[in-house]
Structure 1
Amino acid sequence: MRTIIETMAGRLAGVPGVVGVLLGGSRARGEHRPESDWDLGVYYRGALDLDALRESAGPGVEVAGPGGWGPWVNGGAWLTVDGLGQVDWILRDLDRVDRVWADCREGRYEVGTQAGHPLGFWSPCYPGELALGRVLADPTGELAARQGEFAHYPEPLRDALTGGSWEAGFLLAGAAKGAARGDTLYVSLCLARAVGVLVQALFAADRRWCLNEKGALAVAETLPGAPAGFGPRARALLAAPGDGPAALTATVAAARALVEDTEAALKAS
């Protein structure tokens, strides 16, 4: 299997405009299951030869060019490969990755709307992917150089993301008003976003890259900075926020206690 994926990566690296190819996701971290997809980050710069990329994908495979999938996960392809199963090509503009890294080093980050990311796409994911991935094809050595640099989590970014936990409390202030109206949808959205913000803060406090929402809560609850019972308490909030003002109000109150405990733990970390 590894030979097949490495051969594919080498072929992709020969496409004009492609700088290198990185194996990401659970496969790169050794956390995969037999049915897990293979995620290939295809890093490019400038004009990308889409015709050559489509030829490499083979007949019948739709390849989305830059911007075709949205502003952050901006293009790629889904393939089914004999001997591997599902293989996802995900385009990454290397110049944009560098700009995001410069922002991270200054304590700046963005959260953008992106299909497939219900809590939004958090820009530090870009350097995080390179830091945690496995380089498969890198003719010029650019990916390896960045991987070494990105392995060091920026302290300004840590401060910004842990400080950003204030948003969780702000969301719950609005959720309390929605609870009084019995607005289950609004309260549920506020709760999910609040938990997501806390998870990001806990990852940052541990100087750990958080790549997306998948499995993030399960990791966050094990981190040394997490308050007691963080995971079970968060899951209880999200699993059954309630139906009607009384139940929703009680859930929001429990969420406030979790936010307060998490912020206290973050300050102590």
Structure 2
Amino acid sequence: MSQDFKHSFKASQRPTLSLMVYNVGFQKCPPDYGWGPGVRDHFLLHYIVSGHGTYESGGRTFVLGPGDAFLARPDTPIYYRADPTDPWEYYWVGFSGPSAALLLAQTPFSPGRPVLHSAAGDRLRRALLDIYKARGADYPSAVRMAGYLQAALGLLMEDAPARGTDALADYARRGAAFIQQNYSRDISVEAVAAHVGVSRSYLHRAFHAVFGCAPGAYLTDYRLDRAIQLLRHSTLSVGAVAASAGFSDPFYFSRLFRRRMGMSPSDYRQEKP
């Protein structure tokens, strides 16, 4: 049996980018090595190059082997464990950011499909290794890692069905793109649905199928992500930050911000790294 090993990198700071790598690495697991049950606060992708193991998500258990990939979504309970006799070796990357869910929506992954067998093969392994090789604590390294992550996600997109075969995914992607382009304006879910050309209820169904949340929640989260960037990188007042991110009521913004971050916008600005 080959010797166990683990090589990993964890970002000490989380830079404000549209796509951010939180951690990356590769590991040959010892028998029965596992993680969980637990939840992550970011997306976590694993790609298996040898051996076997099991992945539990959404009340289902998947037995996986070489060429398989599995995805954990934020705040979703998961558990994974290496086989006791043929433990797996895998490469992984943890990531988040406003563009993460939109990019993943163009792959075969969905809230109801957390695993897939990738046709990219060793190209995907090398793409994940490139992220690890670009590791670093400074901002340029974060940008390079994000670029290699996009390349890896692009390989997974090759496994997706041809455009037009999945209407729900197409409507969700178009709705999310409209939100990202117009979040600072006074837009509503009805406006998003009208732009996409579907009913509000159908848009709701599409967003849940692809992003695991309602379009209103997606809009609010995206606005909060933008507000966090402004608090970190601008000298705008809290009220101006709220307005710039699309919140017409600064008190409502502060309440949502405290619920997300556990502190007020002013306190966050003072404590930001």
TM-score (norm 2): 0.30
Compare the two structures and name the one with the higher helix fraction.
Answer: 1
TM-score (norm 1): 0.31
